[in-house]
Amino acid sequence: MSQETVIYVLVLLLVLAGAYLVWRRNFNKGIGSISNSNVISSGNISNIPEEEIARLVNAIFREKGYRVQKTSEALKDVADFQLEKAGFPAFVSIKCWGEPKVDVNLFSQIVIGMNQQNSSHNYVITTGVFDTETIETAKYSSNLVLIDGNKLKTLIASVK
């Protein structure tokens, strides 16, 4: 292979890597960078029935450009919704919706199941909070987004 060919291949690889990084940054645009300016002022979010939380979460992701569908029976223990955006699959679990504090054991069971599905992103949603150990564990997963009750209130306010 000539030196010129090697240079062309390297440039092509750099362009592809740059395009991938831009895509990764924009994939979650709107979900991970929410300000708390639109927080719902009324009541405790944990009083919202699970069916309503599911409907609102569905609306939130549709508004962000995702195709949303309920997961198959085989995946019911792992996630509640399967997402697709730009050909990349993702999962959403609202299994922790009524938990005041999500511990690392419950969180790990959900995330392990999601990761076995080769999804590009996973979202774990609670109406409560994630404990410190769960938050620290989640930092090791680049494809995981935790949405706690406060962030969920903000997201819900944006679709109401």
In terms of Cα–Cα distance, which of 149, 110, 104, 106 is closest to 126? Answer: 149
- Identify the structural domains of the chain with CATH numbers, from first to last: 31-159 (3.40.1350.10)
Contact 125, 99 (CB under 8 A): no
pLDDT tens-digit readout, 40-70: 433 578 788 888 888 999 999 999 999 999 9
In one-letter notation, the amino acid at residue 117 is: Q
Mean pLDDT lowest for which of 25-34, 48-57, 90-99?
A: 25-34
Give counts: helices (H), strands (E), the chain.
Answer: 5, 7
pLDDT, averaged across the chain: 80
Could you tell me how far CA 70 lies from the centroid of its own chain? 15
Q: Kindly state the tokens that stand for 144.
A: 């995981």
pLDDT for 38 = 35
pTM of the predicted model as reported, rounded to 2 decimal places: 0.72
CB atoms within 10 A of CB 97: 23
For residue 92, name the pLDDT band (cuts at 50, 70, 90): very high
- Quick one: pLDDT at residue 74? 84
Dist CA 75 CA 95 (whole Å): 12
- Residue the block writes with tokens 């960078």: 33
Q: Give the pair of three-digit tokens for residue 9.
A: 């291949």
Which of 17-26, 32-41, 75-84, 120-129 has the weakest average pLDDT?
32-41
Beta strands in the chain (DSSP E): 67-70, 81-85, 88-96, 101-102, 121-126, 129-130, 144-147
- Evaluate whether 155 touches 28 at the Cβ level (below 8 Å): no
Whole-angstrom Cα distance, residue 148 to residue 85?
Answer: 23
